Structure 1
């Protein structure tokens, strides 16, 4: 992995206005973890060879906390919504995560570099396992709790994970494919009861010693692997390092979150996605802020709004669907206790939603843009002029441009592909590679750039505007859904001869999955509405439920190329009225 050299780091950073904001902000930060990296940020010192987020950030906050130099603010604050509550200081987080690290290494026999899949809802154990894996140098692979048995098998086989941690909801799916997962050695369950063939996580970690020495990890060592949605094939494994996730925010300072140790941040994203890892682990804890978590078995407007009224949440992060839901309520009847900064990411947010939110709450919504591969690369920073519909300017450390098919930088206003400069030096923050897929890794590079696959423009002021995917990925409620998996699930049904899946506009979710289906010649159905429901249920059972087609249209034939490939773009254009 290529790391920033000093002149580039310095020249990129001094162009960013938030540098001045930081220095005049608060004396609370004068003695925090930033002090040891100021020389690196100024370009006067090389990025360190070794780095571990647990020891170099979290444990430093413990020292600051114990010295009485941090506000009396929890590091972690969880509520169940049913009266249960958990609060940890950085010291308590360190104590408990060391116990979990001993479970992983001494009980499960995992070693530095081994991989573990973690599929848990928004419960405290997810955060303990994250920190424990950092301490042990174990590579964590998060997954959404909506994964099916087929999804789980693919991830277990592709990742070669030796251990999995999940709960009672997902455990049956794991058991159904465990015999085919030759690399899986240990299964840990977070449960009040016992399950045959599983070790009980809660019982084990409570009885473990808290004496654990943090692994010495290089800044390029893998810390997380995220599975992306595939366009024409299976999901890819995207590798992120200690540097790209943990050290990057130390160089970027407060940029998109703009937090302090006094702040409380609430991110409603699923635990399986990188937005949760960025917002609710690395980027928030770098600043010594409190991460607030609501278990949220279901995303409901009343629950979100009441929580904002009852708890001192300063910063809210959510996908556009969240805000579309919230503005359908009479917000004048709610008084938020402390909210002052709202952010949206995962897909474009409608300008009319931003205006309605602003008119009823007095708060702006700041958009951010990024991918699993990049993290946040564009943002509307606090204090920046908001241009409704724009995802803001390039974030610190990234040179973001709009390029053509030959990697030439396009002038303002001209449509092209959003790209990040990676040559002569790859920026710290970008993923390392698609694991076991060098061809795909190479295809993601064009000239001096990593190309995102998203089309957009940049205006004269440096603001970026999202137009759409350059491939067939569907972005619905912040979930990125590859059509291939949905089409494959549909093709397993005996009634389906051909299937094509595209995005379709939706007022709440932005876009949803729509399936065009050609029925098998041997299958006839006079009740197509019933058959559509049957196909939807089939997909829910075959793959993750969030991927099912909310719209189904039966057609006689598909538009195809001369070589017989389905022209998804024609179907998509028809849905969006672009014909």
Structure 2
């Protein structure tokens, strides 16, 4: 299914921008996405090509998304908070022949041009950007009659790898037309969370992330309305739920915490009774936070565990989670297996690497066959893992216990320490560096850097050095990756072969 299937209600809102109230109807979404699809064809973009998009939270994202989906191309949304170097890396690595940018990001878009020589088609919307053609003007010249041949495209989103460099997660392109059913995310939303034409979905998260993008698209495909926040604000989220009579929403635990810290009088001011389903994922939710949300919103919380790779998915509803605190549920996509380092399957209650079994290999890492091979079980070619660690209980419920790559999840965002460590070590006063996560009541985890300076700790001004290191990192990594705190030590724990023992480092710290 797709938005054009709902033209029997042409004036129904497909998208409402929450902060401005601007509406995109299903008729407009259909017309605009067809025009953009034709613009891409006019410029030589064919099925199987890659289109990258750099955009803020704007309704135009969906025009472009559905244009890509009806053109048989891969769509890569790029996190605009990244450094220009990281953005250019993703655009180049995905093999984009086309880059579409939001004029609101015109400065960074202009700086990218010399770094993306293979991108032959550069388009901007919402204004003029140097080095880019005007997408709005080009699309206006095209017909909005859908072509007969509309092969289904797919997203190819990026998730950081063990080296800290982002890696594209590439699915196979569907062998069907945009009009045909069969999309996994659409079917899961329809059958699990009962999404329909009556659904009003609130999206408070950045649209370059997998879950918001895919869920918004699924709601539109099923005829529902998407309400998009340009950025998250705890009180405004409650206001929008009341104003738009939101029935379905998706969150990360961090925003639960921020809503719960609002004064009771503020929380009680808003009617959230329209909510039928509140989904959360991306990071483990503290038991107490979850209980407070259930007390406030009722037994409507639905938690899932998955990944951008979408190799599997588990689900747990409120009664199940209350009965089994800490579980992320039972599989609804794929079959879960827990295996040891050799690949042998482990019995219930035993901790090991989490694999999901599917009928066929669900993805590959773009330009990284070695990482793809590492994600596949040594004996079962359709069992894959993202490196997470946990166990199944006797009833088949999955519990997460660790992350095999020391991934930090801060505010629902994946942060890989090695990138920050590599940047930190280039500071002339740093001899060694380790980056770890620590529990944080607001973000879930906060980034902490532990530094071994060149000069012994008791001989330096640690506050001054911490400021200098932070200033240095601002030129190297995105702002959300900056350490919340920097500590100093005269020795970091390493093995004789030089491997950093992060578990030992964490256990040595008195606040862990």
Is TM more than 0.5 here?
yes
Counterpart in the other structure of 1:121: 56
In structure 2, C-alpha distance between the alignment counterparts of 1:482 and 1:76, rounded to whole Å? 33
The yes-or-no answer on 1:547 pairing with 2:481 is yes
**In the comparison of the two structures, how many residue pairs are matched?**
500
SS where residue 306 of structure 1 aligns?
helix
The yes-or-no answer on 1:334 pairing with 2:270 is yes
Spell out the pairing of 1:372-383 with structure 2 (5 A cutoff): 372-374=308-310, 377-381=313-317
Shift of residue 352, structure 1, vs aligned partner = 0.6
Counterpart in the other structure of 2:135: 201
The yes-or-no answer on 1:57 pairing with 2:21 is no
Stretch of structure 1 that moved more, 230-239 or 127-136? 230-239
Counterpart in the other structure of 2:247: 314
Native 8 Å contact 1:150 1:543 kept in 2: no
Question: Residues 576 and 274 of structure 1: is their aligned pair in 2 closer, same or farther, counting only changes over 3 Å?
Answer: farther
Counterpart in the other structure of 2:209: 273
Shift of residue 525, structure 1, vs aligned partner = 8.1
Counterpart in the other structure of 1:288: 223
Native 8 Å contact 1:504 1:576 kept in 2: no
Counterpart in the other structure of 1:227: 158
Shift of residue 540, structure 1, vs aligned partner = 3.2
Shift of residue 339, structure 1, vs aligned partner = 1.4
SS where residue 254 of structure 2 aligns?
helix
Shift of residue 519, structure 1, vs aligned partner = 2.3
**TM-score when normalising by structure 2:** 0.90
The yes-or-no answer on 1:348 pairing with 2:292 is no
Question: Residues 414 and 527 of structure 1: is their aligned pair in 2 closer, same or farther, counting only changes over 3 Å?
Answer: same
Native 8 Å contact 2:71 2:151 kept in 1: no
Stretch of structure 1 that moved more, 403-412 or 367-376? 403-412
Shift of residue 86, structure 1, vs aligned partner = 1.4
Question: Residues 512 and 522 of structure 1: is their aligned pair in 2 closer, same or farther, counting only changes over 3 Å?
Answer: closer
Match of 2:366 among 435, 443, 452: 435
Stretch of structure 1 that moved more, 326-335 or 139-148? 326-335
Counterpart in the other structure of 1:69: none
In structure 1, C-alpha distance between the alignment counterparts of 2:73 and 2:37, rounded to whole Å? 9
Counterpart in the other structure of 1:76: 15
Structure 1: runs of 5+ lacking an equivalent: 1-55, 67-71
Shift of residue 562, structure 1, vs aligned partner = 1.2
Shift of residue 211, structure 1, vs aligned partner = 2.9
Shift of residue 225, structure 1, vs aligned partner = 1.2
Spell out the pairing of 1:246-257 with structure 2 (5 A cutoff): 247-249=183-185, 252=188, 254-257=190-193
The yes-or-no answer on 1:444 pairing with 2:375 is yes
Counterpart in the other structure of 1:96: 32
Counterpart in the other structure of 2:194: 258
Match of 2:70 among 111, 135, 139: 135
Shift of residue 214, structure 1, vs aligned partner = 5.6
SS where residue 126 of structure 1 aligns?
helix
Shift of residue 182, structure 1, vs aligned partner = 2.3
Counterpart in the other structure of 2:335: 399
Counterpart in the other structure of 2:298: 362
Shift of residue 489, structure 1, vs aligned partner = 2.2
Question: Residues 190 and 504 of structure 1: is their aligned pair in 2 closer, same or farther, counting only changes over 3 Å?
Answer: same
Native 8 Å contact 1:143 1:271 kept in 2: no
Structure 2: runs of 5+ lacking an equivalent: 176-180
Question: Residues 540 and 256 of structure 1: is their aligned pair in 2 closer, same or farther, counting only changes over 3 Å?
Answer: farther
Counterpart in the other structure of 2:467: 533
Counterpart in the other structure of 1:457: 391
Counterpart in the other structure of 2:491: 557
In structure 1, C-alpha distance between the alignment counterparts of 2:171 and 2:133, rounded to whole Å? 28
Counterpart in the other structure of 2:84: 149
In structure 2, C-alpha distance between the alignment counterparts of 1:311 and 1:510, rounded to whole Å? 29
Shift of residue 411, structure 1, vs aligned partner = 2.5
**TM-score when normalising by structure 1:** 0.80
Question: Residues 159 and 564 of structure 1: is their aligned pair in 2 closer, same or farther, counting only changes over 3 Å?
Answer: same
SS where residue 254 of structure 1 aligns?
helix
RMSD (CA atoms)? 2.7
In structure 1, C-alpha distance between the alignment counterparts of 2:112 and 2:57, rounded to whole Å? 24
Native 8 Å contact 1:319 1:478 kept in 2: yes
SS where residue 183 of structure 2 aligns?
helix
Deviation per CA, 1:402-445, whole angstroms, max 9, x where unpaired? 222233333322222221014xx326xx3x21112111111101
Question: Residues 158 and 572 of structure 1: is their aligned pair in 2 closer, same or farther, counting only changes over 3 Å?
Answer: farther
Counterpart in the other structure of 2:344: 408
Native 8 Å contact 2:205 2:229 kept in 1: no
Stretch of structure 1 that moved more, 317-326 or 459-468? 459-468
Shift of residue 162, structure 1, vs aligned partner = 1.8
In structure 1, C-alpha distance between the alignment counterparts of 2:268 and 2:299, rounded to whole Å? 13
Native 8 Å contact 1:264 1:291 kept in 2: yes
